Amino acid sequence: MQKQRVETRHGRLEVMTSAGKGAPVLLIHGNSACKEVFHKQFESDLAHDFRLIAFDLPGHGASADATDPQKSYTLHGYAQAAADVLKALEVSSVAVFGWSLGGHIGLEMIAQQAPVSRLMITGTPPFAKDADAVGQAFVPSDALQYGGQRDLDDAQAASYARHVVHPDKPTPEFMVDAVRRTDGLTRQTMFENILAENIADQQHVAENCPVPLAILNGAEDHFINNAHIASLNYKNLWEETIFLLPQTGHAAFLEKPQVFNRILSRFLRG
């Protein structure tokens, strides 16, 4: 595993890559998290079979905070940052796995015609471009509200970290640290701009995805409306199935890595 920093339109970002010689796979983390959340993928055979690439979004982890939050801390800006990382690494085509916010970024990358060959999303409810649709896609809660709140005290940061994994299971300490480190403007600005003019209609992109789209969610995800996700009319859904892992919350890849990694590997191999 190697770490390096690359310059992008949205600041200096830290990137982590595996030594695998196979096809490149970009892993995009969620709101107020960090690239290290994918450590169970980097410690698996996936890291040998594929060239795994993960990076800290602007304002997260070891990446720099944005100099222009209104430009960088949006789905549009994050997707541009991801494309810049790929360009810096000379990656011309990539499979993408996006978790939560990372899945929304993956859909935005598709809309921006980034070189995405296939996309898997987890904990990401595609929503149409209106406030009511956003409300239908997510399940209201205090923890979800923290995801759009600029300033979090220690108790709120711990609660948010616990719910983004699973509220009834142990929370990795690094997740709490990642929430505390995150520039609070990332949360506030992203949610304030979720329906901005330059943001794609996520439901339309998902339903009409030009590349294979895989969806895998936790059956006990407290953030997303799985019924909403199942109701959409996908034209390119991989294996014509939405995978639901039982007894699993928002971070299936972290809670049940062996099951998740097998499905991801199968998807990547086409």
C-alpha distance from residue 13 to each of 10, 30, 49, 56 (Å): 8, 15, 25, 6
Q: Taking a C-beta distance cutoff of 8 angstroms, is the pair 51, 22 a contact?
A: yes
Residues comprising the chain, all counted = 270
Task: Catalogue the E-assigned strands of 110-185.
Answer: 116-122
Closest to 152 measured CA to CA, from 32, 17, 238, 23: 32
Q: What is the pLDDT of residue 147?
A: 95
Q: What is the pLDDT of residue 258?
A: 97
Domains of the chain: 2-268 (3.40.50.1820)
DSSP 3-state of 69: helix
Query: Which residue's entry shows tokens 């987890």?
Result: 122
87 contacts: CB under 8 Å, gap ≥ 6:
none
Q: Taking a C-beta distance cutoff of 8 angstroms, is the pair 58, 34 a contact?
A: no
What is the DSSP secondary-structure string of 187-246?
HHHHHHTTT-TTS--HHHHHHT-SS-EEEEEETT-SSB-HHHHHHS--SSEEEEEEEEET
The CA dihedral of 231, 232, 236, 237, to the nearest 10 degrees, is -30
Q: For 207, left (φ over 0), alpha (ψ -120 to 50), or beta?
A: alpha
Closest to 96 measured CA to CA, from 38, 42, 27, 20: 27
Q: Is the pTM of this model over 0.85?
A: yes
Q: Taking a C-beta distance cutoff of 8 angstroms, is the pair 52, 74 a contact?
A: no
Q: What is the pLDDT of residue 88?
A: 97
Q: What is the pLDDT of residue 166?
A: 87
Q: What is the pLDDT of residue 89?
A: 97
C-alpha distance from residue 27 to each of 143, 150, 195 (Å): 24, 25, 24
Instruction: From first to last of the 270 residues of the chain, give the pLDDT tens digit.
Output: 899 999 999 999 999 999 999 999 999 999 999 999 999 999 999 999 999 999 999 999 999 999 999 999 999 999 999 999 999 999 999 999 999 999 999 999 999 999 999 999 999 999 999 999 999 999 988 888 999 999 999 999 999 999 998 888 889 999 999 999 999 999 999 999 999 999 999 999 999 999 999 999 999 999 999 999 999 999 999 999 999 999 999 999 999 999 999 999 999 998
Determine how many CB atoms are found less than 10 A away from the CB of residue 88.
Answer: 16
Q: Taking a C-beta distance cutoff of 8 angstroms, is the pair 7, 88 a contact?
A: yes
The structure tokens listed for 65 are 């905070």
Q: What is the pLDDT of residue 143?
A: 87
Q: What is the pLDDT of residue 167?
A: 87
DSSP 3-state of 42: helix
